[in-house]
Chain A
Amino acid sequence: MPSKEEVFEKVKEALVDALGVDDDEVTPTATMVGDLGAESIDFLDIVFRLEKAFEIEIPRAELFPDDVLTSEEYVQDGKVTAAGLEQLKARMPFADLSKFEENPVVQEFGNMLTVDDLCRYIQGKLA
């Protein structure tokens, strides 16, 4: 199994290729959308590259739980409910949701994922 550093290097390479960002912009704490400028279509590209680099399958719902974020049960007035947050935590153990929890506006969700979250997700898949 590759080390944490090896995973980071491969993730960095995928992000540099897919997003056209510089090496030094890809830091563990950088957010995919806010800092690296990823748009929704880029995630398709990123997933392709990660699947190839690590020889894994990445079902979309694992990285982007759209079903929770569009559910009437878990979203009220544009915000994820307490039950919805529990769902997200269970589904995305690799992601640090603490900041999102402070103001769980659905629209902000996409901006929460960091490079570190992505690396943790990959490590979880490889474990």
Chain B
Amino acid sequence: MRWFWIDRFLEFESGRRAVAIKNVSLSEEYHSEWLLAMPLMPGSLILEGLAQTGGLLVGETSGFRDRVILAKFGRVVFHDYARPGDQLVYEAEVQDIKPTGSIVFSTARLEQRLLAEVEIVFAHLDDRFAGVELFDPAMFLGNLRSYGLFDVGKNADGSPLQVPSYMLAAENRLAAADPRACEELGYAVS
């Protein structure tokens, strides 16, 4: 199952803030098992989308090398529900980034109305996990491209965000090993 709980980035300022959208659809699987007659998006999945927005914002500061994992949600407040047809806007703002972890403040809005707000703590796995890759770099890059991260991403100085070279290299290796599969996956391999 795909575990994408954001659809696209609208803004992405390295180390500072990111804005992503999530379109709520009645075709999403959870509607078939939960509150059938009153389709609502579960708050936990809104939190997951906020964590994906914030986690990628933090992870990018190390070129996605740091192993950033969701540690805890603090002070979660839900103000309203999200329903099929809604377009949620998730905004994540970095409060603090340190070698051991980071804190991000995130909100979900629906047409400027505040839906949810949360403080998210991420842990950065230390050297005991050296060499452990959470994601295959080529596949991960594919995900980042799906989110349009590099279409809107900017560095602190305003210049466009570049794909980290080790990710490009991994993608090219994949393309060389199996060009047809890569083409089918829609990878933009140079």
A residues apposed to B, CB below 8 Å: 17-18, 20, 41-42, 44-45, 47-48, 52, 60
Contact = CB atoms under 8 A, between A and B. Distances in A.
Contacts of A45: 71-72, 74, 103, 121
B74 A48 contact: no
Contacts of A48: 96, 98, 101, 103, 121
A42 B119 CA distance: 13
Q: Is the interface of A mostly helix, strand, loop or mixed?
A: helix
A41 B121 CA distance: 9
Interface of B: 71-72, 74-75, 96, 98, 100-101, 103, 121, 123
A18 B73 CA distance: 10
12 contacts: A17-B75, A20-B75, A41-B71, A41-B72, A41-B121, A44-B101, A45-B121, A48-B98, A48-B103, A48-B121, A52-B96, A60-B100
Nearest to A39: B72
B124 to A, nearest CB: 9
A18 B103 CA distance: 12
A60 B100 CA distance: 9
B127 to A, nearest CB: 13
Closest 10 CB pairs of A and B: A41-B71, A44-B101, A45-B121, A41-B72, A48-B103, A44-B123, A48-B96, A44-B71, A44-B121, A45-B72
Nearest to A45: B121
Given A48-B101, A48-B121, A42 B72 contact: yes
A44 B122 CA distance: 9
A47 to B, nearest CB: 8
Nearest to B96: A48
Nearest to A57: B98
Contacts of A41: 71-72, 121, 123
A60 B74 CA distance: 21
Nearest to B122: A44
Given A45-B71, A48-B103, 6 more contacts: A18-B74, A44-B100, A44-B123, A45-B103, A47-B100, A48-B98
A42 B71 CA distance: 9
Contacts of A20: 74-75
A12 B5 CA distance: 36
Contacts of A47: 100
B74 A17 contact: yes
A20 B74 CA distance: 8
A64 B96 CA distance: 21
A45 B100 CA distance: 11
Contacts of B100: 44, 47, 60
A59 B80 CA distance: 40
Contacts of A42: 72
Which of A17, A41, A42, A47 has the most chain B CB atoms inside 10 A of its CB?
Answer: A41
A42 B123 CA distance: 10
A32 to B, nearest CB: 15
Contacts of B74: 17-18, 20, 45
